[in-house]
Chain A
Amino acid sequence: MAEKRKKVLGSLQPDVEDILEWNNLPDNAFEPASAQEKESFIQDRKSVSYWKDAWRRLRRNRVAMVAMVIVILIGLFAFVGPLLVPYGYDEQIRGANNLHPWHYSLEDQARIDAYMEEHNNTANLTPDEAVEQAKAEAAAKGEELSRIEEAKIRANAKASQGSGEGEVTEAAAIEALGIKAKPFGYSDDELQRMENGESVFPHVFGCDTHGRDIMVRTMIGARVSMIVGICCAIIVLIIGAIYGSISGYFGGKVDAVMQRIVEVIYTIPEVLIILLLGTTLKPVFEQFQNSGNGPLQQLVTTLGPNLISIFIAFGLLYWVTMSRIIRGQILQLKQQEYVTAARALGAKGGRIIKRHLLPNCVGQIVTTTFLQIPSAIFTESFLSFLGMGVSAPMTSLGSMCSDALSGLTSYPYRLFIPAAILSVMILCLNLFGDGLRDALDPRLKK
């Protein structure tokens, strides 16, 4: 339009001809709009809400979207997975101890056994078998084995089994025969049952020393981590938002005192206190749990005393950052005219905070709360790894890793599966949180 008006270069005079043309209205200009026209008119002006706008920005962030999909997948794995797998996280499956996440079919196993039998003699017997054999031999000669002899044979068998020198080990036999392992673990018993036509759910990640299915345990562990993360974030949100907004809104002496308290908590070495709180609260809750049968005790029982003490430890220490961020926001926002207007209309402090101030810093609040989740998961896994998080038979990714540490060389996957899921989960939550921050608060974007 602007160019059209200036026909003469440099003239500020609008082009009158054009403007006069506007008056030439079509004949139907004053007819009532049809229903369809009305509809399209409304649609044109459909307002984009804050959340929609943020979602649009977030969708364009490819990294954040991929991270979100992975987080959702892990969430499904953790919450829906245990329903699909027929094993319990503390169910010890007989004959499935130390099962690898791969198996050999029954024929292959027979071939391996035959090969090993052929190449090794008694040396490869288990201690018990060696003793049995020696006993049988002695009985044939009409003698009886003394306890010392029995112990000697047992020790010999153990030593030769362990060293595997000069004989064929199972691994070597498998290599020599060129047998390929099939994915997923099955115990011998289960293989037999499959042979008979039963369908058996595989142990996808194998089983641990007690014969517990590692996949189910990983699912439960991931679930514990996610619950801890979300609950801690909510606790932090509630305490931090209330504290921060009161401190920021009232200002003056109230603010000074409250901020001194925050500063003190800020300088307290948090991990030390969390370790202490985690261990001291646990027995307190256990005692409380056993003290009666009221509804509160029931609640403690369902959540588990360990989890509650972790929540409290987090809630007491981590709200500080949240409260600082919210205070900063409120300090800025309370200078705005609409707050003055609300005050002039007689609104009380609580109402102004609730209705006017907090909704306006919702972007910051959501991002900070969300980024609290990975940090809580991080700390929980650390606590569990040191043996101070959830206690057996309940499991968490951290405690699974620490359990697997002793057998690291033989069963590395027992450590690396939960460790990988944990790391990927934290990574994706962090990436998604960053994306969320960029989407909700575009001013902060760098």
Chain B
Amino acid sequence: MKAPHTLTTVLLIAVAFVAPLLVDAVRRNYRLAGDNSGFEPVQPIAYSHRLHAGELGIDCQHCHSGAETSRMAGIPPANTCMNCHTFVTAPFNAVRAEDEAAARENRKPRRIISPELRKLYNALGLDEELHPDSAMEQSAIQWVRIHAVPDFASFDHRAHLGAGVDCQTCHGEVQTMERVRQVSTLSMGWCVNCHRDANANGIKGRKVNAPLDCAACHY
């Protein structure tokens, strides 16, 4: 007599637990565990890949220089930014406006620093004239990591670049993104499909040997 009641109760509780999850899952398009595609966090500095990689056409590896030689492409250190931003401190329009204003008012133009670049200079402890200011503390720029595979999987940029894979194959058309968004799922199935496809069709007409062994990534 008692047993069916217990079973019903358990099932009811189970349904009660599962229902909100189902709703949630539907709302999120049945995303699998660990699938972060669409992730587009706000970064501490509103750096625009569209401007740098797209409009200005700077090569990805100019800043992500580890991609060719290391497993990590790397996020550029602030001193890489300073290669250009020692001189370029604000958008061209703003500088021109200030130059024109200065000419009108018959004074020397002031250095214009855009608010986003100010964050970079603050991190490096640079004052208004971009000189090191001992009163300012240097602080690391804490970017939010977008593309990440789990700790039990190893991804190596070198191998992929060496095989001729474009950055965009995994990272999407970053040169069009104002704020970077994860476009791929970075799931294992997605990786393996690409490896199979590469083995069958080659990459850019070149035959490649993309490993399918588990231990190619998991160790």
The finding on whether chains A and B are genuine partners in a shared complex, rather than unrelated, reads no
B-binding residues in A (CB < 8 A): none
A-binding residues in B (CB < 8 A): none
